[in-house]
Amino acid sequence: MSRLTRLMVLALVAMLLLGVPARLVAQDEPSVYALQAEVIYPAVIRFSVVVSVPFGDVRSLSLTLRQGDRTLRSGPLNLDSILFSSAPYTQFRYDWPIDPAQPPVLFEPLAYQWEMTSAAGEAEAASEVTFDPGPTAWRQRGDLPLRFSLADEGLNVVAARQAIEPVYELMQAHTDLDPAFNWAILPRGAAFCTERPNEEGELERVVLSLTQDAFSCSEEAARRILTANGYRVLERRQPGLLSFQNELVDDMFGEFYAAFWGNSAVPGWFRAGLRQMYHVTPNPLALEQVRQAARTGTVMDAAALDAPAESHQSDALFDAQAYTLVMYLADRYGAEAPFELGIRTARQGFDAAYRALVDQPLDEVLSAWESWLFTGQAERAMTWTIYSPATPTPTPTRTPTATWTLPPTITQTPSVTPSPAVSPTSRVIQVASPLPTYTPETVIPPTPSNTPRPPGSLNQPPAVSDEPSGGGGGLCGASLPAMLLPLAILVGAYRKKWL
């Protein structure tokens, strides 16, 4: 290599050394970076982090979890148990178990902070993750006393809430109670866990992480976390908006009347029938179902009807018979009679309230009810709901004949305003307004306007940045002459010697 070539190489090396940022020449400060968090509901929350020092230089690593003023965990972790990778960089991963009895607050940010102490110094970093059940994004709609949280994008909860608002108001008027309903809506057959065979070939329930790591999973724990957060878990039984609305009504009825009746002994048929009278839509199909049972002699007797409603879960015939029996009482003794019976039950017990209204054993009522099933009046009554208008007779008295008559033709028209119904005991109970119709609003965006710019506004000088171009170290314009100066001196000296 010639002397000129050697001098030029030395000059280039000097230039490069002058242009290298100081942070690459000096040893880096220790750092904590690449923070990640994954909610693996209902088992764990996985936290991972990368540190800039070798594993052998890490002296301690702490993780703190907070939600608001509440600290869920804090303190150092066992380094050996959470080490995930030591090459090409040091990565730690910690799976924090979720306690179903004291879980984080759902749908709220969970703040976490890593703190590391190493031979090279200390470092820390913080971030947050939203705690939700997944696996898809949940949404919240409405405010208390009727609020919804759900992951089903296809369910119109706005329309459902509008439909059940009059139901809530009517139950409130009948019971003088005002409970709040904070629902977590689950689709039919919802499952947070997955079943798969283990190494022994036995099925086990697990939940999988994004990296397909399996964790033991419990459906009960998943729902306990929801209830611990103050949610009423409602799993849908049937598809469709109308079915969903009636499922909400059933849940509200259970809450209202469990508190209203307390420990009073209420027959299963009356509890189930009154519950269905609050439904937002009638159920005329129940009449056909009970008629068929009457034809075949399979209707339930008084003893079976008196059994607790819980013993008849998913019994369609029991529900249909209870519903038509209560509708029979409404047709015979007045549209408000079943609700008045429910009110008096809270005050004096069901038996005394029933005798005051009907004064007939249930066996005799069932005989009259069975004859009523095959009348045109029964067909008209079964198209009526409490949200439809009822026409009182001029003199409401308790007689064997009906003192209230339902309209001969009933159509559910939201524009009709129901009249207050006077019970045989002259108690006035306001009937809820007809169900509102849900009309989506069409929002028309404003028309954009074009404002001409003043002359010369396009000829603006470029903005001057305080930062050097490139965003970091490197060569800048001011230092270039200083870097070239040694090369110029060396080349000049070389030429002078050889000339």
Q: Which CATH architecture has domain 28-131?
A: Sandwich (2.60)
Say which DSSP state 230 is in: T
- Rounded Cα–Cα distance for residues 422 and 391 (Å): 10
- Digits of tens for pLDDT over the chain (499 positions)? 555 555 455 555 444 444 433 333 334 689 999 999 999 999 999 999 999 999 999 999 999 999 999 999 999 999 999 999 998 889 999 999 999 999 999 999 999 999 999 999 999 999 999 999 988 889 999 999 999 999 877 789 999 999 999 999 999 999 999 999 999 999 888 899 999 998 888 999 999 999 999 999 999 999 999 999 999 999 998 889 999 999 999 999 999 999 999 999 999 999 999 999 999 999 999 999 999 999 999 999 999 999 887 777 668 999 999 999 999 999 999 999 999 999 999 999 999 999 999 988 999 999 999 999 999 999 999 999 999 875 433 334 443 433 444 444 444 444 444 444 333 333 333 333 333 333 444 444 444 444 444 444 434 444 444 444 344 444 444 444 445 554 555 545 444 444 4
- Rounded Cα–Cα distance for residues 475 and 483 (Å): 9
pTM over 0.85: no
Q: In 52-107, where do the E strands start and end?
A: 58-67, 70-73, 83-85, 90-97
Segment (H or E) for 319 = helix 316-333
Q: Is the CB of residue 138 less than 8 Å from the CB of residue 150?
A: yes
Q: Is the CB of residue 103 less than 8 Å from the CB of residue 63?
A: no
* CA nearest neighbour of 15 among 482, 493, 470: 482
Tokens 């970091």 belong to which residue? 472
Tokens 């000129």 belong to which residue? 4
- Domain residue ranges in the chain: 28-131, 264-438
DSSP bridge partners of 208: 214
Q: Is the CB of residue 134 less than 8 Å from the CB of residue 152?
A: no
Q: Is the CB of residue 465 less than 8 Å from the CB of residue 16?
A: no
Determine if residue 100 is left, alpha or beta; phi over 0 gives left, psi from -120 to 50 gives alpha, anything else beta.
Answer: alpha
Write out the two tokens for 128: 């947050």
* CA nearest neighbour of 18 among 472, 475, 468: 475
Find out whether the peptide bond into 389 is cis, omega within 30 degrees of 0. Answer: no
* CA nearest neighbour of 157 among 131, 139, 178: 139
